Structure 1
């Protein structure tokens, strides 16, 4: 517990952190990081990040991220709230023009970004300014915008994962990247179906109820050619 000058106990530490600070806007949370090392460690923990994002998702004050050549702006979509610009010194960690940056998926404030000029994948949190370049194995190689599809999810072990469905020359291989392990692995998914062919178009993934949902349509656009495919994030099937 915290103690005031008279030695009387104040609010418990966890009560302050869990019930108060996680409900604060991002700007105020950033200020709380400067209080002490204990607060900083607690705020950077994955449990706090997910709890804070939960409350932000429930808020009616949604934000719009605008990435320019030299500036990054965050504007409020709520008419009653004023838009704001991120603190000075926050720049894109990518050496690419904004028109060559593809935002493929988002989760808990993190964005998965693909650079068109190098086909590299990054995970970037524009509010905390942290980013991570995803490791590339010799088998997985790079992301191809025209043919691949990607999904962002959290598995049963509370680890952030990225599902990469790669289609090359009429075949499909599915990889999962673990942020905790910083490595890729191959999973068996839709091995006996024809949805890997280029005649099918995959939508970006939608995360809901422990699954990633993809809408798959045939190129000719026939209504009877539409299929919804679910990837279970826990069983990896």
Structure 2
């Protein structure tokens, strides 16, 4: 009962506090740290802060990771603050792939390549690549997407292509485990098919454009329904020349 009462207190009262205050309150006790680190609290806090006119903008350069205040859609240059990345690597090796609820999905493209889920507020991170040789992240060959399912579980979809074979895997933040899905059958994933590294989420569907380098007519988009966790193939309309030749009068 005491824990349930504190959970309600955290979700209704503490979730209205600024992010920096919440980070400090996590040090009060183990109970406070557990509840204020939960995925449910993160979602509630994110939605409350989304209505705040004062937001944060993170920019990544080759020399620093900068944090700016974003006020009414404009960047406050004077508020610049440099933050550190928790993994020891050159910043030029980092690529921001996607973000959701204040979490960043970042690729470290070096040997071995890694996929990092990072919370810039708490500076906590999780390396999503296990030690198996085939399960590292390849920025040139693989694609990723991040989303929230119907149970408010943050998940990451990873499409790994190895030797023209694509294996889709989904990571659950609630269970901290990967599971393998079934991709479309009969689809050509040869080396001339170019992947974009991050998917676009729209109406609970992740879209991965897959333009064909040599034959544009073979281009298509892979659509992933986050509710049913199934894939479909969407054809890309072919462009036509609609610009007529200009003639002199």
Give the structure-2-normalised TM-score.
0.74
Deviations 1:7-49 (A, max 9, x none): xxxxx86675334432332123224435565544332222110
Contact 1:68 1:98 in 2 (8 A): yes
Equivalent pair of 1:148/1:166 in contact (CA under 8 Å): yes
State the alpha-carbon separation in 2 of the partners of residues 113 and 27 from structure 1.
22
> Which structure 2 residues correspond to residues 80-229 of structure 1 after superposition, within 5 A?
83=79, 85=81, 91-117=84-110, 118-136=112-130, 138=132, 140-194=134-188, 196-203=189-196, 204-219=198-213, 222=216, 227-229=220-222
Which among 21, 40, 43 is matched to residue 36 of structure 2?
43
Give the aligned partner of residue 243 of structure 2. none
Structure 2: gaps of 5 or more residues: 231-249
| Distance change >3 Å, CA 235–CA 20, structure 1 → 2 | same
Give, in angstroms, the shift of residue 124 of structure 1. Answer: 0.9
For the residues of structure 2 that align with 1:191 and 1:68, how far apart are their CA atoms? 40
The yes-or-no answer on 1:53 pairing with 2:46 is yes
Q: What runs of 5+ residues in structure 1 fail to find an aligned partner?
A: 1-11
Query: How many residues get paired?
Result: 222
- Following superposition, the deviation at residue 107 of structure 1 comes to 1.4
How much is the aligned-residue C-alpha RMSD, in angstroms?
3.1
Cα deviation code 1:85-139 (max 9, x no counterpart): 37xxx63221210110122221111112221122022211011111112252637
- Alignment match, 1:234: 227
User: What is the TM-score when the length of structure 1 is the normalising length?
Assistant: 0.77
Relative to structure 1, is the Cα distance of residues 33 and 208 closer, same or farther in structure 2, using a 3 angstrom cutoff?
Answer: same
Q: CA deviation at 1:193?
A: 1.8
